[in-house]
Amino acid sequence: MLALKNHLIAYTDGSADNIKTKKGGYGIYMTFNEHTKTFSKPCKEQTSNNKMEIEAVNNVFINTKNTIYPVLIFMDSDYVYNCAIGNWKRKKNVELWDRFEEITEDFMNRGGKFKFFILESHINIQDSTKVNQAYKKFVSKNTKENIAYLRKITDKSLKYVFTEILKGNHIADGAAYRAKSKAERKIS
């Protein structure tokens, strides 16, 4: 089971108006122990939602490149999650995926560890601090206590996140990612 202490937690989201203006941006909320950092960046050129989702994840690695602690990245993009762990072919946004390869390879070569988590889109997590506090309590319990704790949670979004973590269905491990050959991970 994952532990919260001494793990860098990052929540990412990218967005774009894919129909009219083609403008977008991304946001990242990061927390480490008691410290938090939030930042966002608009895209000055025409973009897409998927591009901004990839940029958000890439920038987590850029902003944590010197960390010695494991990085847990939460995202709501099925596209980025499945492409990142090699479940889906990377047919579009090749430049951004090449950059992802370089960044994650460099991160792992320096001993960095990371895990990806997929969240349901728009699950309305309004207060990430609340999520982190509940998560800390959740991971400190054994499996039997976790199940009992899930029954007490009234916030549907928290219930979803913790249920998925407990099931282990949506966790991608950096070591497993690294074990795949580069050809398997990068499909043009």
Q: How do the pLDDT tens digits run along the chain, 188 residues long?
A: 233 567 888 888 887 776 777 778 888 888 787 777 777 787 778 888 899 899 999 999 998 878 888 888 888 788 888 888 877 888 899 999 999 999 998 888 888 888 888 775 544 444 444 444 554 555 455 555 655 555 555 444 444 555 554 554 433 344 444 444 444 443 32
Position 44 in a domain: yes
Position 135 in a domain: no
Position 2 in a domain: no
pLDDT at 4: 59
pLDDT at 25: 83
Position 142 in a domain: no
CA distances from 29 to 38, 55, 56, 94, 149 (A): 4, 14, 10, 26, 25
* Whether this model's pTM surpasses 0.75: no
Name residues whose C-beta falls within 8 Å of residue 81's C-beta, 6 or more positions apart in sequence.
Answer: 75, 87, 116, 118, 170, 172
Position 114 in a domain: yes
77 phi, psi to nearest 5 deg: -100, 110
pLDDT at 136: 52
Domain count along the chain: 1
Position 82 in a domain: yes
Strand ranges in 44-169 using DSSP code E only, listed in sequence order: 71-75, 114-118
105 phi, psi to nearest 5 deg: -65, -45
> Contact, 187 vs 90, CB < 8 A?
yes
Which CATH number covers residue 12?
3.30.420.10
